[in-house]
Amino acid sequence: MREKRVVIIGNGMVGHRFCEKISNKKGDFKLIVFGEEPIRAYDRVHLTDYLGKKTLDDLFMSENRWYKENNIDLHLGDPIKKIDTTKKRVFSIKGLSIDYDYLVFATGSSAFVPPIPGVEKEGVFLYRNINDLDLIREYTSKATKGAVIGGGLLGLEAAKALVDLGINDTAVVEFAPRLMPRQIDELASNTLQTKLKSLGLTCLLQKSTDHIVGDRKIEGLSFADETQLEADILIISAGIKPRDELAKAAGLTIGSRGGIVVDEHMRTSDPAIFAVGECALYEEMIYGLVAPGYEMAETAAATIAGEQKVFSGFDMSTKLKLMGVDVASFGDPFISEPYAYTILLEDKNKGIYKRLNISTDGKRLLGGILVGEASSYNMLLQTVNNNMPLPEHPETLLLGETSSGKSSSSGLEALPDNALICSCEGVTKATICDAVTQQNCEDVDSVRKCTKAGSGCGGCVPMIKDLVTYTMKQQGKYIRNSICEHFNFSRQELFDLIKIHELKSYDEVLDNFGTGHGCESCKPVVSSLLASLWNEMILGKGNDVAQDSNDRFLANIQRGGTYSVVPRIPGGEITPEKLITIGEVAKKYNLYTKITGGQRIDLFGAHLNDLPFIWEELITAGFESGHAYGKALRTVKSCVGSTWCRYGLHDSVSFAIQIEERYRGIRSPHKLKSGVSGCIRECAEAQAKDFGIIATEKGWNLYVCGNGGSKPQHAQLLASDIDSETCIKYLDRFLMFYIRTADPLMRTATWLNKMEGGIDYLRNVVVNDSLEMSETWENEMQALVNAYQCEWKTAVNDPNIRKRFVHFVNAPDEKDDTVRFEEMRGQKKATGWNNSMIY
């Protein structure tokens, strides 16, 4: 039987997927692939990562040998120029003439370039392929102000790329009145815009570019409203258009607005020719995501192999992270009254917007939008796609809870076996659960290798992880609490490994014990572990970019693009001279001042450029960093104790200062707060703290694992009537035990609640030394205490660190002129500081 020759025009992700699928079909097929680019198929979804840590080798979809192993002839840098549909023959640019039995168009799309005068100028780029990114990276070395035309998905990705390349002064120009107009509504766009602005990205909406300013190279943009924007590099990302010119020349039917018309089997008007991906037009729709392209490729491969499979459209739900901001839409994000009713949650303080569209009978979820926090995306998407019933109070879905109070596993149990978990690869719940039960896959990486689930856009990875955990629990297996897919270790295991191997940077940890390039989950965890172990400067080379956002600036990022400064005031005790210094600094830099609940003074409204100068003045007066930005000890609150109070039993102020100065700057899984009260009247509220100390007639009572915040919990008594020295020993042991064993971002109260044996077990470990670790923990704590340094002082004295604290790299003395303030009770506040939460 003669082998059937299948010619594929295009070697992108969808073309590669077609080759994968048909290679696994029954039949004798000879595949011939013609690619326009000089390199083999690569992952375009993660194209922006190429400007970070990923190399081209990391992005390749397969090895070179894969093509030979699957009987595929690959012709790179040799696009097809002509098709003879009568003779079933294609002709390439390099002169090849190949006959085919079946022809598959996988030509994708090209960037739509608006007819703007000046687009040919030097410094104007597209954002579609590796070559584009190489050119952009090279040009940014001589650019300082960037602009992107297009506020859609790819436009915001391009803006992120410019920021990653050091062009911090970057603006996004969008013709529509909101960002991502096809995915999110106006309120969601406002929230996203505010978040992006706080990260240094300017968004200009409802702007029509009239022409590009400059002679030979770009100098800026001129808009139809007669305003201008300075820019010396521009990326155009204003949409896509299907690559259908070759098909049109061959006489195939083309849509009125472009695209090769296909039926449900991906056949074109010529039954021997198929089209898949962004060049294909199915029922007047061009699908611009990789998942529907993959489904098209599988449908075409099945049809050519004689199997029955149809393409019936595709859900365009999507979740992504733009410059660290979660953005997701699912189902029908825009449906509204009278066809549905809408539940909204908007928290302007935290930059969170959530919308659920509910059927008029209140029984079904129709769609929604999530900005700023999207952890519930996968479950909400499954609820829509599988027509699952809603809880009695659907608004609880916005808070990540169920009306019954059950864990997320109850939602996974309700999912049908045919629920599509990974849309990119077409992997169902049943397939993933089978990989766990039958193939012994016990982590996300194993499931990915076995089923390919999660190897596309990656949006389904959190749900895959939940399914793996859920299935293993059903089998009664031990659950390995890995911190993320890049580290197959729990926090405690990784702590021990870092310590044993004396690793000092995130990159060293990743190289030795991780895979891939890390993520926003594991980077802060590893950074916290390194700080907890060695107490070195957190902004040291190799660790700076892995920190939480506040840690990167040694200050809290506040509303309106401003920063707050909180100097340490141990025990709340402060001299008049230091009070005067704080007042003078606040007056000089026009800062809003407030006494905190922890007996310190917050200075709000600082510009990024001013931070080192403010720190210098405070350091000169004897202040140091209060670590208000870190997962570390914040304050040790105290009453005046026996020094002044007639009820005081002991000197609570001196002991609070001693405690605070001992444990300052020590990083832990979560922030820590403490208090010391001079008698049982408890004016320092010690029992609401992570550790609290209350004076007794015989000494001190030590309480641990209390918590204020969203779920208040009283601390529990660990030891009674102990002297000061013993109290500190117990605290050393308690804190090191917590630092070693708690999960990331776990408060001490939650840690104790999850501890088998509770306070009795903890007391046995800390007081009775049941684990025989007391001496080790005391020595480790003393080493951290000895290694302490004021991070503000180090930052202002180290030129390499200090230069981070500028808003404009090319103009370090200029401040962000978009920061706005208004008067409030004789002080200033950032504009738009109001919070709102709407249901």
Look-up: residue for tokens 């080798």? 57
Residue range 191-246, pLDDT digits in tens: 999 888 877 789 999 999 999 999 999 999 999 999 999 999 999 998 889 999 99
pLDDT at 691 over 90: yes
pLDDT attached to residue 1: 58
The CA–CA distances, whole Å, from 455 to 45, 46, 239, 679 equal 11, 11, 25, 60
Q: Which has the minimum average pLDDT: 71-80, 110-119, 798-807?
A: 798-807
DSSP 664: T
3-state secondary structure 424-466: CCCEEHHHHHHHHHHCCCCCHHHHHHHHCCCCCCCCCHHHHHH
pLDDT attached to residue 832: 55
Query: Which of 172, 165, 180 is CA-nearest to residue 231?
Result: 172
pLDDT at 641 over 90: yes
Same domain flag for 263 and 286: yes
DSSP 478: P
Dihedral over alpha carbons 487, 492, 494, 495 (to 10 degrees): 150
Reported as a pLDDT band with limits 50, 70 and 90, residue 366 is very high
For residue 768, tell me if it sits in a domain.
Answer: yes
pLDDT attached to residue 407: 43
Same domain flag for 44 and 135: no
Neighbours of 304 (CB within 10 A): 24
Same domain flag for 774 and 642: yes
Backbone angles phi, psi at 223, to 5 degrees: -105, 165
Residue 412 belongs to a domain with what CATH number?
1.10.10.1100
Chain center to CA of 288: 22
DSSP 397: G
Q: Which has the minimum average pLDDT: 124-138, 461-475, 487-501?
A: 461-475
Dihedral over alpha carbons 719, 720, 721, 725 (to 10 degrees): 10
For residue 330, tell me if it sits in a domain.
Answer: no
Q: Which has the minimum average pLDDT: 43-47, 315-319, 580-584?
A: 315-319
User: For 737-741, which contacts have Cβ atoms below 8 Å and span 24 or more sequence positions?
Assistant: 737/762, 737/765, 737/766, 737/773, 737/777, 738/668, 738/669, 739/495, 739/532, 739/666, 739/667, 739/668, 739/669, 740/492, 740/495, 741/492
Look-up: residue for tokens 């008007």? 269
Same domain flag for 641 and 576: yes
Reported as a pLDDT band with limits 50, 70 and 90, residue 402 is very low
Q: What pairs with residue 240 in β-bridges?
A: 111
- Of 238, 262, 296, the position where a domain reaches its end is 238
Cβ pair 556, 622 in contact under 8 A: no
Structural domain of 179: 124-238
Rounded percentage of the chain residues whose pLDDT exceeds 90 = 64
Residue range 378-395, pLDDT digits in tens: 889 999 988 898 888 888
For residue 777, tell me if it sits in a domain.
Answer: yes
Same domain flag for 467 and 497: no
Residue 571 belongs to a domain with what CATH number?
3.30.413.10
Between these two residues, 164 and 765, which has the higher pLDDT value?
A: 765
Same domain flag for 588 and 721: yes
Over residues 136-150, mean pLDDT: 93
Residue range 572-627, pLDDT digits in tens: 999 999 999 999 999 999 999 999 988 999 999 999 999 999 999 999 999 999 99
For residue 600, tell me if it sits in a domain.
Answer: yes
Burial (Cβ within 10 Å: 0-12, 13-18, ≥19) of residue 305: middle
Q: Which has the minimum average pLDDT: 342-346, 491-495, 760-764, 827-831?
A: 827-831
pTM: 0.62
- Of 238, 258, 278, the position where a domain reaches its end is 238
Residue range 459-474, pLDDT digits in tens: 788 889 889 988 988 8
Same domain flag for 95 and 138: no
- Of 238, 255, 281, the position where a domain reaches its end is 238
Residue 214 belongs to a domain with what CATH number?
3.50.50.60
- CA-CA distance, 682 to 701, in Å (whole number)? 12
Report the number of distinct structural domains present in the chain.
5
Q: Which amino acid, residue 313?
A: G
19 is in an annotated binding site: no
pLDDT at 837 over 70: no
Residue range 172-184, pLDDT digits in tens: 999 999 999 988 9
User: For 174-178, which contacts have Cβ atoms below 8 Å and span 24 or more sequence positions?
Assistant: 174/150, 174/203, 174/204, 174/205, 174/206, 174/207, 175/206, 175/207, 175/208, 175/238, 176/151, 176/205, 176/206, 177/205, 177/206, 178/151, 178/205
pLDDT attached to residue 710: 61
Chain center to CA of 3: 48
645 is in an annotated binding site: yes
Same domain flag for 685 and 628: yes
Q: Is 371 left (phi over 0), alpha (psi -120 to 50) or beta?
A: beta
Q: Which amino acid, residue 142?
A: K
For residue 299, tell me if it sits in a domain.
Answer: yes
Strands 365-371, 352-359: pairing is antiparallel
- CA-CA distance, 145 to 230, in Å (whole number)? 7
pLDDT attached to residue 410: 53
Cβ pair 280, 264 in contact under 8 A: no
Look-up: residue for tokens 């719940």? 429
pLDDT attached to residue 406: 42
Rounded percentage of the chain residues whose pLDDT exceeds 70 = 96
Residue 795, both tokens: 């930052």
Same domain flag for 149 and 194: yes
For residue 345, tell me if it sits in a domain.
Answer: no
For residue 320, tell me if it sits in a domain.
Answer: no
Same domain flag for 248 and 232: no
683 is in an annotated binding site: yes
The rounded mean pLDDT for the chain is 90
Q: Return the ∠ at Cα 785 (arms to 784 and 789), rounded to 5°.
A: 90
Residue 494, both tokens: 């990784």
For residue 820, tell me if it sits in a domain.
Answer: no
Over residues 69-83, mean pLDDT: 94
Same domain flag for 219 and 248: no
Chain center to CA of 550: 15
pLDDT attached to residue 133: 92
Cβ pair 325, 193 in contact under 8 A: no
Same domain flag for 223 and 247: no
679 is in an annotated binding site: yes
pLDDT attached to residue 455: 81
Reported as a pLDDT band with limits 50, 70 and 90, residue 480 is low
